[in-house]
């Protein structure tokens, strides 16, 4: 359980995190989503006390992280970049962390096995590939058998097999009743593992919602229909709970609140020929982009139309 309250972090006159408040609950995977520079890493660093909040507070299982007598048992964190000494072997890195908590050597070997690092555990960690480095970071995060697991961009730089491994790991940890908090700037990745989403942009909370609700709010389940006589089709389809939009002068209509199947039947019943009838499910990516459009820190100069139409 992570609780943030009015969490704010300023660096000089730049506000990285701005009055952020959220609760991350146990038993589910909570995605922490936002464009680059949204304040995700800073928030995570404040959770484990590496950065001190300018104002506000964040607690883990009811206490500030530093107040716990065995911090690694409360939160296991994988933070950005490599948090290792490249000259030390994977085994010795984990063991040094274990010694600070009195975690037995058996557990050190366990997490090394769990992350599949046995064959390289005695090698200098500096020579590890990006994927191995991530695995080592995750081994360190799981070391204390923590109630909360917090991973910052865990799939960055992983091959497909590694990505799949992380996904299974995260859902497995949540199923064990742990709090799992994962940041990403990739909505598509989050959609596969996260149940709950906390979306931030420019340090502010944009949404605290579930994946389903986010899609619904972004206008998912729209049906696109084209016909020679849109005005007549409108009349036919009109009814309670049905919302029809369409630009004047085009043959196209967008219908919300009816399935494509029902529209097809209705049109056939009234003898209206249809040229096109398709479900336009809003992708999560789209929903995310709509939500964060105004909060993107660095806009590209080349116009990319996110709706997929030509710009």
Partner 1 sequence: MTTATTTQPPASASVEPARPPYKVTGGRVLRSEWAKLWTLRSTWITLGLGLLFLVAFGLIASARYKSAITSGDHMDADFARSTSVSLSLFGTNFAQLALGVLGVLVTAGEYSTGMIRSTLAAVPRRLPVLWSKAAVFGVVALVISTVGAFVTFLFGSGIVSGTPAAMTISHAGVVRALFGAGLYLGLVGVIGTALGALLRSVAGGISVLVATLMLIPGLVSLLPNAWADHISPYLPAAAGQSMFAVYRDAHTLSPTAGLLVFLIWTALALAGAAWRLVRTDA
Residues that bind partner 1 (CB under 8 A): 45, 48-52, 65-66, 68-73, 75, 77, 79, 81-89, 92-93, 95-97, 99-103, 140, 144-145
Sequence-distant (6+) residues with CB within 8 A of 51 are 9, 42, 45
75 or 258: CB nearest partner 1? 75
37 or 76: CB nearest partner 1? 76
> What is the Cα–Cα distance from 175 to 81, expressed in whole angstroms?
27
109 or 213: CB nearest partner 1? 109
Which tokens is 239 given? 């009814």
| Least distance between partner 1 and beta carbon 141 (Å) | 9
137 or 201: CB nearest partner 1? 137
Which tokens is 304 given? 């990319």
Which of 229, 233, 230 has its CA nearest to residue 263? 233
> What is the Cα–Cα distance from 283 to 44, expressed in whole angstroms?
27
| Least distance between partner 1 and beta carbon 26 (Å) | 11
Q: What are phi and psi of 127, to 5 degrees?
A: -90, 5
60 or 191: CB nearest partner 1? 60
CA 260 to chain centre: 31
Which residue do the tokens 């557990």 mark?
Answer: 107
> What is the Cα–Cα distance from 223 to 236, expressed in whole angstroms?
15
| Least distance between partner 1 and beta carbon 286 (Å) | 35
29 or 46: CB nearest partner 1? 46
> What is the Cα–Cα distance from 65 to 58, expressed in whole angstroms?
8
Taking CA atoms, 230 is separated from 124, 163, 224, 253, 275, in Å, by 68, 46, 12, 7, 11
Taking CA atoms, 98 is separated from 33, 88, 91, 146, in Å, by 31, 15, 10, 13
19 or 49: CB nearest partner 1? 49
| Least distance between partner 1 and beta carbon 91 (Å) | 9
153 or 189: CB nearest partner 1? 153
| Least distance between partner 1 and beta carbon 19 (Å) | 19
| Least distance between partner 1 and beta carbon 177 (Å) | 8
Sequence-distant (6+) residues with CB within 8 A of 300 are none
Could you give the 3-state DSSP secondary structure of residue 36? Answer: coil
| Least distance between partner 1 and beta carbon 96 (Å) | 5
Which tokens is 93 given? 């890195």
| Least distance between partner 1 and beta carbon 129 (Å) | 17
């Amino acid at each position: 359980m992570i609780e943030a309250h009015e969490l704010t972090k300023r660096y000089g006159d730049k506000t990285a995190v701005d009055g952020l408040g959220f609760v991350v609950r146990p038993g589910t995977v909570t995605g922490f989503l936002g464009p680059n520079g949204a304040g995700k890493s800073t928030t995570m660093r404040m959770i484990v006390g590496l950065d001190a909040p300018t104002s506000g507070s964040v607690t883990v299982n009811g206490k500030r992280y530093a107040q716990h007598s065995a911090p690694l048992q409360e939160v296991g964190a994988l933070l950005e970049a490599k948090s290792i000494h490249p000259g030390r072997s994977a085994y010795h890195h984990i063991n040094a962390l274990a010694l600070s908590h009195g975690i037995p050597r058996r557990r050190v070997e366990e997490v090394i096995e769990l992350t599949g690092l046995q064959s390289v555990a005695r090698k200098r960690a500096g020579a590890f590939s990006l994927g191995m480095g991530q695995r080592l970071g995750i081994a360190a995060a799981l070391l204390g058998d923590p109630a909360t697991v917090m991973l910052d961009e865990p799939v960055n730089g992983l091959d497909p097999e590694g990505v799949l491994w992380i996904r299974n790991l995260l859902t497995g940890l949540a199923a064990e009743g742990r709090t799992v908090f994962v940041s990403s700037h990739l909505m598509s990745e989050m959609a596969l593992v996260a149940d709950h989403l906390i979306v931030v942009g420019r340090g502010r909370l944009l949404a605290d919602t579930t994946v389903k609700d986010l899609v619904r709010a972004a206008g998912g389940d729209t049906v696109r229909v084209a016909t020679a006589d849109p005005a007549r089709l409108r009349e036919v389809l009109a009814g309670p709970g049905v919302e029809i939009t369409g630009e004047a002068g085009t043959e196209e209509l967008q219908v919300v609140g009816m399935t494509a199947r029902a529209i097809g039947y209705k049109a056939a019943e009234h003898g209206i020929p249809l040229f096109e009838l398709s479900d336009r499910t809003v992708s999560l990516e789209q929903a995310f982009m709509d939500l964060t459009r105004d909060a993107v820190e660095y806009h590209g100069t080349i116009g990319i139309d996110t709706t997929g139409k030509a710009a």
